[in-house]
Amino acid sequence: MAKKYEQFRCQPRLPKFAIPKRYDLKLIPDLIACKFSGTVEISIDIVADTKFIVLNAADLSVDSKSVRFQSKSESKGLEPLQVEFFEDDEILVLEFGETLALGLAVLHLSFEGTLNDQMKGFYRSSYEHNGEKKNMAVTQFEPADARRCFPCWDEPACKATFKITLEVPSELVALSNMPVLDEKVEGNIKIVQYQESPIMSTYLVAAVVGLFDYVEDQTPDGIKVRVYCQVGKANQGKFALDVAVKTLGLYKDYFETPYSLPKLDMIAIPDFAAGAMENYGLVTYRETALLYDEKHSAAANKQRVATVVAHELAHQWFGNLVTMEWWTHLWLNEGFATWVSYLAADGLFPEWKIWTQFLDESTEGLRLDGLSESHPIEVEINHAGEIDEIFDAISYRKGASVIRMLQSYLGATVFQRALAKYIKRHAGSNAKTEDLWAALEEESGEPVNKLMNSWTKQKGYPVVSVKLKDNKLEFEQVQFLSSGCEAEGQWVVPITLCCGSYEARKNFLLEKKSQTVDEASSSWIKVNVDRAGFYRVKYDEQLSAKLRSAIESKKLSPMDRYGILDDSFALSMAGQLPLSSLLTLMGAYREEPDYTVLSNLISVSSKVARIVADADNTLLDNIKMFFINLFQYSAERIGFDCKEGESHLDALLRGELFATLAVFGHEETLIEANKRFQAFLEDRNTHLLPPDIRRAVYVAVMKKVTSTDRSGLDSLLKVYRETDLSQEKTRILGALGSCSDPDIILEVLNFLLTREVRSQDVVFGLGVSREGREVAWNWFKENWEHISNTWGRGFLITRFVSALVSPFSSIEKAEEVQGFFATRGKPSIMRTLKQSLERVHINAKWLDTIRNEKGLAECVQELAYRKY
């Protein structure tokens, strides 16, 4: 290979001698042969002396005879001496015989590609219409796959305008980012031209071609909003349409900037890797994240649709209008859209108490960030292949949580004004994290940059220990790791505390390792009020006891009750709090009224039951009995049947509560669920199985399935095959692994790899029972080749690794897993693999701590038989 090309290889970014200004792009998809061809004319500005033009391309064949360079300042066009394609670097190098004239020019190329089945680039998705299987063509370009559709400068900072033309069969719907400018029908082909877009990044370009129905509405200021879905499902788009129209108005006010395009289309795609994608003016979704069926969708589905729509529409400002300069700043897009989607959902559905539910987001962030294999919010990205793995709980959830922490520190009004200023200042261009801090600093007068650097530039977070000595409170921060290991980090921590009531508040910044504050209160003291800060709190014994009675006497807010429980669980896992103390604390939540707190209690109890089963099986019956008794009060209050006019939150709770009771083997739940399932099999419209309890009932059905009595599995698969609702299919897939018979688990896993399960949905079936994890791991090893070939090019492969490796709790298993991947590691799974192995080590350490804990068996027995 010629030396002269080496300078362009193995570089994280493209050279900057040419800047794209406008793309005139024509695409011709062939939905039968699953191929596409296209031409692109790129208006570029040559800003430095060069004989080369270097741009991105991947999985395309470029016709080298079609490549022409025409400078605006010269009459003759140039053809390249050489057109070199570097597959590993995903670049196309064009070499010309002379130095290119500075200034504006046009670069013309023709190309061909495959409509792939990998759910990235320009791909195909299948659907049925009148019983016949058909293909649609869809784009998914984020993070770095526009280059798989057309040669381009595929980096967020290389913004340009796009003039798109699609040539498609005349009976199909063809959509792009902008409204149609002109449509010509020639026989059975139509040529659709779209208006030129405003300036935007390549990863937001979109096109969809297929058969669709739609519902439409308009915002008060005349923006046409449509929801497109499969023919016959248009009614299922109405809820999302209503949310979208209201959300656009809400964001227009909040950002003090109107939505910047003339129309907004949202479309449900049957095969889609992520949840949704915020393409400018044409947002694509998984069906489960956009469609809502009054009869068959659960409350959880309704909430999912609302928050995903709000998240994607937030991106139309935060991401699309103002775009991160490079993927290092991805969290600006995702953390912010996550946070503001809660703001929107709260505005539309105040009865959902969504800010309390937001704590689930921060818990997921804290859970991942408690690993030494975590990463800072801002990550150096050196190759396009590394980007996928940072679309994780750090960018989204920790990102959203530190934004909530900062907003609660600066105050809501100041925060909103600064954001509006930031959006107006950077509209149509790119921004870095520092630009957001600068706007917030100007508006608030606080040293935001200094405050936030410790949260975005280093990984992890602190646990703040609080001790009461001689009427003084001693605060000390140390980095928290779930493994209980020591680490070096230090943060600027916004400390808030309440003493005996929410009226008596204090706050200060803990900038050093430790600090002392005067405190004369004899009552309870709660630190990190409403868990607004991204840190954990550890109390001394006397403060803990007071908080426990404050929980029982309902003195604390739901957010604070949640925070105490979740921190105690994390501290127990890290070996800093005996399991008996955690269990005793859990007993204080028996009459807990709040959905989000109960939901966390459910998840903690499931994790504790699993680790106890590994540590000391003799404790398991008593532990399960304690947990079943713990949830009895709520189960009786809520019952199996929904009540007239009940709250959205009760509907959410019912499904989670009974699924957990089924997993713990609660006999009454199992009998009732199986009775209702039989009624459902006889009559699909029975009122005995409303959508909110279906998953719980399916779990209960699978709990009873064995190799000798498999009728429940066969019936569930029959329901799976009949339904065309994606939400129902994923509900069933999520329940199949609950069976305790390893032979059945193997059969279920093999079913996941058949044509009957779309490749986007396989990950829902990977959560198997404790009894099935060994079989699942062996199945994964045996099918590695197939799994790697099918999912290895996208981020879904990481879900296999975490789901199948993390549940183990022995060092031997960690070594076996490491050995297996020693020769099979792919760069795209390395981060996830290390994190999963660390979780196995943490489990192993936790298990040892439990085995060595004195008096645990007596404590568990006392709790199991306690009479309420």
CB 17 within 8 A of CB 50: yes
* Catalytic-residue membership of 312: yes
Instruction: Tell me the mean pLDDT in the region 149-166.
Output: 98
Give the pLDDT confidence of 233-278 residue by residue, as tens digits: 999 999 999 999 999 999 999 999 999 999 999 999 999 999 999 9
CA distances to 35, 56, 162, 481, 605 from 165, in Å: 17, 21, 10, 53, 55
Please name the residues in contact with 668: beta carbons below 8 A apart, sequence gap of 6 or more: none
Report the mean per-residue pLDDT for the chain. 96
Give the model's pLDDT for residue 1. Answer: 54
Which pLDDT score is estimated for 616?
Answer: 95
Pick the closest to residue 769 from 655, 654, 664 (CA basis).
664
Q: Burial code of 797-807, b = ≥16 C-beta within 10 A, e = fewer? A: bbbbbbbbbbb
Reply yes or no on whether the pLDDT at 16 is more than 60.
yes
Q: Which of 726, 761, 731 has the alpha carbon at shortest distance from 233?
A: 726
**In the structure, what pLDDT confidence band is assigned to residue 390 with cuts at 50, 70 and 90?**
confident
Strands 493-499 and 525-527: antiparallel
Spatial distance between the Cα atoms of 151 and 327, rounded to a whole number of angstroms: 20
10 Å Cβ neighbour count for 768?
Answer: 26
pLDDT at 289: 97
Q: What pLDDT, on the 0 to 100 scale, is given for residue 54?
A: 98
Mean pLDDT of 303-311: 98
Which residues 6+ apart lie within 8 Å of 246 measured at CB? 348
Q: Which of 75-79, 130-134, 697-701 has the highest mean pLDDT?
A: 697-701
Collect all residues with Cβ–Cβ distance below 8 Å to 8 and sequence separation of at least 6: 15, 52, 54, 86, 89, 91, 93
Please state, in angstroms and rounded to a whole number, the distance separating the CA atoms of residues 483 and 810.
Answer: 14
111 pLDDT exceeds 70? yes
Which is catalytic among the residues 312, 334, 361, 386? 312
**Which class for 332: exposed (0-12), middle (13-18), buried (19 or more C-beta within 10 A)?**
buried
Q: What is the dihedral of CA 511, 516, 520, 526, to 10 degrees?
A: 40
Question: Measuring CA to CA, which residue among 315, 119, 125, 292 is closest to residue 212?
Answer: 125
One-letter amino acid for residue 729 of the chain = K
pLDDT at residue 779, rounded to an integer = 98
- Does pLDDT of 794 surpass 90? no
Q: Edge-to-edge strands of the sheet including 462-469?
A: 514-518, 472-479, 462-469, 536-539
- Other beta carbons less than 10 A from residue 184's beta carbon: 11
- Per-residue CA distances from 397 to 436, 644, 674, 797, 838 (Å): 18, 35, 37, 21, 20
- Let me know: does 252 contact 269? Beta carbons within 8 Å: no
Question: What confidence tier does 862 reach under pLDDT thresholds 50, 70, 90?
Answer: very high
Report the alpha-carbon distance of residue 329 to residue 432 in Å, rounded.
6
User: 488: burial class by Cβ within 10 Å (0-12, 13-18, 19+)?
Assistant: exposed
**Cα–Cα distance between 587 and 629 in angstroms, integer?**
10
Work out the pLDDT band at 388, boundaries 50, 70, 90: confident
**pLDDT tens digits, one per residue of 520-565:** 677 899 999 999 999 999 999 999 999 999 999 999 999 999 999 9
pTM, entire model: 0.95
User: Whose structure tokens read 């299987």?
Assistant: 133
Provide the CB-side half-sphere exposure for 100 (13 A, CA).
Answer: 31
Q: What are phi and psi of 231, to 5 degrees?
A: -55, 130
pLDDT of residue 358: 98
**Can you tell me the distance from the alpha carbon of 714 to that of 823, in angstroms, rounded to the nearest whole number?**
39
